[in-house]
A and B are shown apart, each in its own frame.
Chain A
């Protein structure tokens, strides 16, 4: 967590809350409009800081995501090994089938 950005966002949110509280205690329409406009300005900053914070945190995901992708590779290698064994066994069975045919043919020729 980027502490500085998180602190700044929290401070801005608190400022926004204070302005809202102030609005509840203000009757003058001109003052009220100023406060509301100020709330929009603070919100805009909260959004800007929020965007930077989100980007900073997402960049931190990268290393760990690569670890997960490396794990996927390991699992896929294990699957490939098992499939390779199956191909070997099937080839062996096919080969033996051919040997049987050759033996049968040889037997026929001898008889």
Chain B
């Protein structure tokens, strides 16, 4: 019996040492709330990009049809795939979604690892095992009406929680450069501005991505209405065209704002991942709320593009 008691205290001391060691080496923990809000932001980015890309598709398709209508038959003798090709190729969009899906799956796993349920389960099992040992070996302190088994359970819970969090942090720090690169690249696919100098040494800002493409497409639509306005003399018709013109300007602004907000969201996702991996709090709830608002605006815009080709 004595040797059993001694080994029991030895186990407890070892457990205590492990907890102390984990506490000292792993002071910085991954905040679970940060992981949860990161996962929500990834999902919001996926939803927002789907809605935005649908609007881009509708916008460019209408522009392609307008171009075909404008071109004299002798200049466009036969129609080819490139005349009506999607402005954002299907395979590329799939790749984009796969990237966001991979980040969502990763976030869900990290959230499961740092959630309190896992250590709680271990704690309960350890307490139950302790009580069972108490009953089997007739160790008074371990019996279910005593505190020791509960203490062992609590200790087990803490050890597992600390170890799980440490593992989560280790993986997050390791994968952080990849997450940053993916989110930055995706943001730059939407819009990138780079300072450059031309052949004469004059500085200029080079713009590229989905935004400049959408901007010129909107500009064409707006120009077409302006041209109609020039050719119209009747007041009522001019008023209708002026309304159409103002509406198009509004839609262009909404669209560009939403695209830039998605871009900011992706950059914030990268920064928030680094913060969470370093144990700093990164609450993205405001960002998610803004993204959800933008999704609604872009969906409305896409609906209007479906209904009223202008």
Bin the interface of chain A by size. 35 or more
- Please name the residue on chain A nearest to B100 by beta carbon: A65
Chain B, residues 206-229, CB within 8 Å of chain A (1/0): the string is: 111110110111011001100100
Are A89's CB and B126's CB within 8 A?
Answer: yes
Of the stretches B3-11, B82-90, B287-295, the one at the interface is B82-90
* Proximity string of chain A (57-79) to chain B, C-beta cutoff 8 Å, 1 when within and 0 when not: 11111101101111110111011
Q: Tally of A-B residue pairs with Cβ under 8 A? A: 208
- Interface flag for B58 (CB, 8 Å): no
Determine whether the beta carbon of B133 is less than 8 Å from that of A96: yes
Alpha-carbon separation in the docked complex, A57 to B181 (Å)? 12
Q: How far is the CA of A55 from the CA of B136 in the complex (A)?
A: 66
Q: Could you say which residues of chain B place their CB within 8 Å of the CB of A40?
A: 63, 66-67, 70, 220
Q: Which chain B positions have C-beta within 8 A of A13?
A: 207, 212, 215-216
Q: Are B95 and A59 in contact (CB under 8 A)?
A: yes
B125 engages A90 (CB within 8 Å): yes
Query: What's the Cα separation between A41 and B129 when bound, in Å?
Result: 76
Digit string of A22-56 for contact with B (CB within 8 Å is 1, else 0)? Answer: 01000001001100110111111011101101110
- Determine whether the beta carbon of A79 is less than 8 Å from that of B112: yes
Chain A, interface SS category: helix
Contact A61–B63 (Cβ < 8 Å): no
Contact B60 A47 (CB under 8 A): yes
Known: A51-B86, A65-B98, A72-B109. A9 touches B213 (CB 8 A): yes
Q: Does A1 contact B (CB under 8 A)?
A: yes
**How far is it, in angstroms, between the C-alpha of A54 and the C-alpha of B210 when the chains are bound?**
8
Enumerate chain B residues within 8 angstroms of A69, measured Cβ to Cβ. 102, 105-106
Complex Cα distance, B213 from A102, in Å, reads 78
Complex CA gap A53/B185 in Å reads: 12
Asked whether B175 is an interface residue with its Cβ less than 8 Å from the other chain, the reply is yes
Q: How far is the CB of A38 from chain B (nearest CB, A)?
A: 10
Q: Which residues of A are at the interface with B, using a C-beta cutoff of 8 A? A: 1, 5-7, 9-10, 13, 16, 20, 23, 29, 32-33, 36-37, 39-44, 46-48, 50-51, 53-55, 57-62, 64-65, 67-72, 74-76, 78-79, 82-83, 85-86, 89-90, 92-93, 96-97, 99-100, 103
What are 23 of the A-B contact pairs (CB < 8 Å)? A16-B216, A32-B227, A40-B66, A40-B220, A43-B217, A51-B87, A53-B208, A54-B209, A67-B178, A68-B99, A68-B102, A68-B106, A69-B106, A71-B178, A75-B110, A75-B167, A79-B113, A83-B118, A85-B160, A89-B126, A90-B125, A93-B128, A93-B132
Q: Which 6 A-B pairs have the closest CB atoms?
A: A50-B213, A89-B125, A6-B208, A71-B175, A67-B178, A58-B95
